Amino acid sequence: MDRRCEQCPTPLPTMARRHARYCSARCRQVASRARRRAAAAALPRALVERDRWVRHSPTKVPLTTTGRPASSTDATTWSTYATAATSRVGAGLGLVLDGDGLVCLDLDHCLTPDGHARSWAQPLLDQLPATYIEVSPSGDGLHVWGYGDLAHGRRLVYGAGTVEVYGAGRYITVTHRPWHRAPSQLADLSAVLAELL
C-alpha cells in the first residue's frame, strides 16, 4: 500500500518505520504547529488571555516552562499561554486560579471507560449553562470552567461521587480535550455553585 506524508503528498519510502507519519522534520513541525493552533482555537479566549500558565510533571507537580518548580501562589513562575503551550517541559499544561473570578469544578472519576457521564454526575452536568468542559488527563474526569465567587477550594459529596470546586491558590491541568460539544466560552456558574455549596 502506498503511504504518504500526512502533511504533503510525498510518498513515504517503503522502508519507512511503520508508525512514520511525515516525510521530513519540516512536515512534522508544520503539522504540530497546525495542531497547536487548532487546540488553542478550541480554548475560550478568557483562558488563553490569562498569563498564568504553568507546565506539570506526570505526577501533577507544577513546573515553569523551563522546568523549575512552579507555585500556584508565585506569579513569577507563570507564563503566557503561547510560551507554556510550546514548552516541552513535563507532561502537559495547567492554568493557575488566583481568585479573579475564574473557577473550575473538578468532577473526578465521573466518566465511564467509553466516555459517558456516570449517573451520579448527570444531574450536575444537565444543570450547567453553556460553558467550556474538558476531559482530565486521566481520561475519566471532567473540568468545568466558568465564573463564580470562590475564595476557598472545597471538596463536596455529590450523590455517589465527589466534586471539588476551586477559585484560587491552585492550578488546573488543561488537556485541549473538550468534552462532547463544549463551547469555546465561559458561563457564570454562580447558580450551580450556590446549589453545591
The catalytic site residues sit at 106, 108, 143, 164
| Interacting residue with Zn ion among 12, 16, 20, 27 (CB under 5 A) | 27
Q: Which lies closer to Zn ion via its Cβ, residue 21 or residue 176?
A: 21
Residue 159 falls in which region: left (phi positive, over 0), alpha (psi -120 to 50) or beta: left
Question: What grid cell was written down for 134?
Answer: 474538558
| Interacting residue with Zn ion among 1, 3, 4, 7 (CB under 5 A) | 7
Q: Which lies closer to Zn ion via its Cβ, residue 32 or residue 122?
A: 32
Question: Bridge-partner residues for 113, per DSSP?
Answer: none
5 is a site residue for Zn ion (CB under 5 A): yes
Give Cβ neighbours of residue 169 (< 8 Å, ≥ 6 apart): 72, 73, 97, 98, 99, 153
Q: Which lies closer to Zn ion via its Cβ, residue 5 or residue 95?
A: 5
10 is a site residue for Zn ion (CB under 5 A): yes
101 with 188: CB under 8 angstroms? no
Q: How far apart are CA 83 and CA 58, in angstroms?
A: 19
34 is a site residue for Zn ion (CB under 5 A): no
Q: Contacts with Zn ion: how many residues (CB under 5 A)?
A: 6
Q: Where along the sequence are the contacts to Zn ion (CB under 5 A)?
A: 5, 7-8, 10, 23, 27
